[in-house]
Chain A
Amino acid sequence: MTHAISVHNLEKIYDNGFQALDDVSLEVRRGEIMALLGPNGAGKTTLISTICGIVTASAGHIDVFDYDIIKDYRKARSCIGLVPQELTTDAFETVWKTVCFSRILFGKKPDPDYIESLLKSLSLWEKKDSQIRMLSGGMKRRVMIAKALSHQPDILFLDEPTAGVDVELRKSMWQLVRELRETGVTIILTTHYLEEAEEMADRIGVINNGKLILVEEKKTLMKKLGKKELVLDLHSPLNDIPADLSEFNLHLVQDGHQLVFTYDPAKQDNGVVRLLDCLKDNSIKCKDFNTRQSTLEEIFVQLIGDA
Chain B
Amino acid sequence: MNYRGMWAIYSFEMARAFRTVGQSVASPVISTVLYFIVFGSAIGSRISDVGGVQYGAFIIPGLIMLTILGQSISNASFGIYFPRFTGTIYEILSAPLSFIEITIGYVGAAATKSFIIGLIVLITANFFVTFEIMHPFWMMFFLVMTCVTFNMLGFIIGIWADGFEKLQLIPLLIITPLTFLGGSFYSINMLPDFWQKVSLLNPVVYLVSGFRWSFYENSDVSITTSVTMILVFLFICLGIITWIFKTGFRLKN
Question: Do the two shown chains form a genuine complex with each other?
Answer: yes
Chain A residues proximal to chain B, CB less than 8 Å: 14-15, 49, 52-56, 73-75, 77-78, 80, 82, 84, 86, 88-92, 101-102, 104-109, 147
A–B complex contacts, Cβ < 8 Å, 26 sampled: A49-B253, A52-B94, A54-B252, A55-B252, A74-B2, A74-B96, A75-B96, A77-B94, A77-B96, A78-B96, A82-B91, A82-B94, A86-B87, A88-B87, A88-B88, A88-B90, A104-B5, A104-B8, A105-B5, A105-B8, A105-B9, A105-B91, A106-B5, A106-B95, A107-B96, A109-B4
Closest residue of chain A to B253, judged by CB? Answer: A55
Q: Which of A77, A80, A89 contacts B88 (CB 8 A)?
A: A89
Q: How far is the CA of A75 from the CA of B2 in the complex (A)?
A: 11
On whether the beta carbons of B19 and A92 are closer than 8 Å, the reply is yes
**10 closest residue pairs by CB, A with B:** A88-B87, A104-B8, A74-B96, A77-B96, A52-B94, A107-B2, A105-B8, A105-B95, A104-B4, A55-B253
Interface of B is mostly: helix
Inter-subunit contact A104/B7 (CB<8 Å): yes
Q: Which residues of B contact A105 (CB under 8 A)?
A: 4-5, 8-9, 91-92, 95, 97
Q: Which chain A residue has the least Cβ–Cβ distance from B86? A: A88
B134 within 8 A of A: no
Residues of B at under 8 Å CB distance from A?
2-5, 7-9, 12, 19, 86-88, 90-98, 248, 252-253
Residue on A with the closest CB to B16?
A92
Task: Give the distance in Å from the alpha carbon of A15 to the alpha carbon of B155 in the complex.
Answer: 23
Task: Give Cα A107 to B4, complex, Å.
Answer: 5
Asked whether A101 lies within 8 Å of B8 as measured between CB atoms, the reply is yes
Give the contacting residue for A107; candidates B5, B19, B88, B90; CB below 8 A: B5
Q: Which of B7, B8, B90 contacts A84 (CB 8 A)?
A: B90
CA distance A86 to B87 in the complex (A): 8
A88, B93: Cα distance in complex, Å: 14
Across the interface, which residues of A come within 8 angstroms of B253, CB to CB?
14-15, 49, 54-56
Of chain A, the residue at the smallest CB distance from B88 is A88
* A229→B94 CA distance, assembly (Å): 44
A102 to B5: give the CA distance in the assembly, Å: 9
Cβ-defined contact, B5 with A90, below 8 A: no
Cβ-defined contact, A53 with B93, below 8 A: yes
Give the Cβ gap from B103 to chain A, nearest Cβ, in Å.
Answer: 15
Q: How many angstroms between the C-alpha atoms of A109 and B8 in the bound complex?
A: 11
Residue of B nearest to A109 (CB): B4
Q: Give the docked Cα–Cα distance between A84 and B86 (Å).
A: 13
Q: Which residues of A contact B8 (CB under 8 A)?
A: 101, 104-105
Known: A104-B8, A105-B8, A105-B9. A80 touches B94 (CB 8 A): yes
